[in-house]
Amino acid sequence: MALKFASTAHQTVLARRHQNRLDQALVEADYRSRFRNWERVATVRNSPVRELGADGELFFTPELVPALSHPILEKAEPHIREAVLVHRLYEYLKFTIDLEQSAVIPVTGHISRGMSGLDLPEGMLRDAFKISTDEAWHAQFTYELMREVRGRTRITPVLPDAPTFTGVLARIHEDLPQEIRGLDEMLFAIVSETLISSVLDELPQDERLPGGVRDMVADHAVDEAKHHTYFSTLLRHLWPAMTRKERELAGPYIPQLIFAFLEPDYASTALGLRAAGLAGHEVEQIMSDVYARDTIVADVRRGAAPTLQYFVEAGALEHAATREAFQESGLIA
Ligand SMILES: [Fe+2]
Ligand SMILES: [Fe+2]
């Protein structure tokens, strides 16, 4: 499902925010761009599309795939276990393409054209163009790699048309009070760009993987380190510029946005397990055993730590309803 973006409501909300809560000191403060050497270091300028090559025996780090430690898969034939990893890679690649194209580029495109409604330093508008370019490149090289993996393994990707997070975001968008509808897109971009993905961290180090996969993920990580700083700065502009009412309305939705990004995509995972050769009842058994709620919440809490810290620093948790929503979600004690 396509995300709705830049609704009229979005622009109204942002325009009002611009007038109400302009933090002049912040606007005038020097913006320290991390993109000054972008021409020299951005992967879109410096790295070719990575060739998959013929090396590497595994297509994803097994330790990052909890289903593999389930007794059913521990006893399974090696080719089934290997296929599970290929399908997990496909899931990650498709998720990346959808994230860049549907959740990040629309937001940076808006910012670059001065349509965010925030009074941002001009350098942040310039950098938003660079991020849009980076993200389009990430989606492109991710797509190319997916094609190469398919060609080499002869395993066809079996994935839902859209990953679960896009549907979850669409529901959150519809659920938001009219006054703040549209803020969800920017908040989700901030959440997704300030988290440290274990995949970006760990896949490049795993020498069991094809060099092309490791290089591609490493390229992505290089650019994302800069994006991370940019989006944490964006939050420092956004939150003080919101009215008290807007903060109180939006805050309780932040945990949902964090879960939308970090919670496993159960539908995609189940399809991948089935496609790898497991029977329906085996897939059901694995899904219910491996994805216990407590484990999921603990994983999301760990992954969300940097983002959570930024929201705390911005003052987002000072409002009781927001704090309660974080507690109820299990993100804070
Ligand atoms: Fe990216
Ligand atoms: Fe990014």
- Ligand 2: centre distance to CA 134 (Å): 7
Residue-level pLDDT at 27: 52
- Ligand 1: centre distance to CA 268 (Å): 21
What integer is the mean pLDDT of 39-66? 93
**What is residue 210's three-state secondary structure?**
coil
- Ligand 2: centre distance to CA 224 (Å): 5
Which-ligand-closest: CA of 228?
2
- Ligand 2: centre distance to CA 195 (Å): 10
Placement of tokens 């003052």 in the chain: 315
What integer is the mean pLDDT of 180-191? 95
Inform me whether the pLDDT recorded for 150 exceeds 50.
yes
Q: Per residue in 130-142, pLDDT tens? A: 999 999 999 999 9
- Ligand 2: centre distance to CA 136 (Å): 10
Among 231, 197, 237, smallest CA distance to 217 is for: 197
Confidence band, pLDDT 50/70/90 cuts, at residue 192? very high
216: left (phi over 0), alpha (psi -120 to 50) or beta: alpha
What integer is the mean pLDDT of 180-189? 95
- Ligand 1: centre distance to CA 138 (Å): 5
The predicted model scores a pTM of: 0.91
Answer whether 72's CB lies under 8 Å from 278's CB: yes
Report the distance separating Cα 46 and Cα 112, nearest Å. 23
Report the distance separating Cα 94 and Cα 98, nearest Å. 6
- Ligand 1: centre distance to CA 104 (Å): 8
What integer is the mean pLDDT of 1-16? 41
Vertex 263: Cα angle to 257 and 266 (nearest 5): 130
**Ion ligand 1 residues within 5 Å by Cβ:** 135, 138
Domains in the chain and their CATH numbers?
8-27+34-329 (1.10.620.20)
